[in-house]
Amino acid sequence: MKRKEAPPASSGQKDYRINSGLARGLSVLKAFGPDNRPIGNAEIAARVDLPKATVSRLTFTLTELGYLNHDEETGRYSLGPAVLTLGYDVMAQMEIRDIARPYMQELAEYADASVYLGTLSGSEVIYVEACRTPASMAIRLGVGSRIPLLTTGMGRAFLAAMPAAEREAHLKKLAPDYGDDWPEVEAKARAAVDYANERGFALSGGNWIAEANSAGAVIRRQDGYPVYGINVGGLQSIITTERLEQDLGPRLLACARKIEHIARGML
């Protein structure tokens, strides 16, 4: 069945998938120029073509959330510090990718495997960078792919590194997804956490993709919280468990520490 395309923005048709409240709030933030000159509700309303009453509600909400600053004396608004957080994560990921890529590529070529950089997204991990070799292309994952937390090397590395309360919350949340398989999945995940806490990297032996093995390690902030993960993996015929335990796992951990050391100022 052919997918129905959304109407062009210029067509005048309203797309039901667009949240109008969110769109209006973002348009208010975009009303401020590069100089961040304070402006009032009337000027904002004129810039975004919305009723002043609507703009007043939006600016109040955005101020409460920290995205705008409000000057009580003049009644004008300027962009607040929370706006910086909207772009910080994206910029940080772009920078961490630049830092990590040469180390990832070196490991991928040594191992003849795939090496990925990922970050937590809810109870999943999302890949933000990938370095692969021809032999590793059989497993079709790339930037933007999402992988499970409990059954992958990188996911288990995150589990091991996060605070115990957060780990237990993830386990409780994910339990219903596995149904009758949960006792086995939980036992393997907890064993992998213990292994990772002892060795510094976590393993997955066909626990997610049956024919693949992987190892994962984390990149931490200065306070020790894991913000990125890195893994190495591929077909079991090339990436054996023994090879991961004795060679690639320790190399992966060293790679994570190099990236962490260079990137520590921005994490």
Selection from 10, 95, 20 nearest residue 58 by Cα: 20
What residues does each domain of the chain span? Answer: 16-80, 85-266
Predicted confidence at residue 17, as pLDDT, reads: 72
Predicted confidence at residue 86, as pLDDT, reads: 66
Q: Any idea which of 52-56, 57-61, 94-98 has the lowest mean pLDDT?
A: 94-98
Just give the CATH number of 16-80.
1.10.10.10
With bands split at pLDDT 50, 70 and 90, how would you rate the model's confidence at 14?
low
CATH among 1.20.200.10, 3.30.40.230, 3.30.43.10, 3.30.450.40 for 85-266: 3.30.450.40
Give DSSP secondary structure letters for 102-142: HHHHHHHHHHTSEEEEEEEETTEEEEEEEE--GGGTTS---
Q: Which of 30-34, 143-147, 218-222, 260-264 has the highest mean pLDDT?
A: 218-222
- Please report which helix (H) or strand (E) contains residue 231, including its range: strand 226-235
Give DSSP secondary structure letters for 73-89: TT--EEE-THHHHHHHH
Provide the mean pLDDT of the chain: 87
With bands split at pLDDT 50, 70 and 90, how would you rate the model's confidence at 81?
confident
Q: If you ran DSSP here, which 8-state letter would residue 39 be given? A: B
Q: Do 16-80 and 85-266 share a fold?
A: no
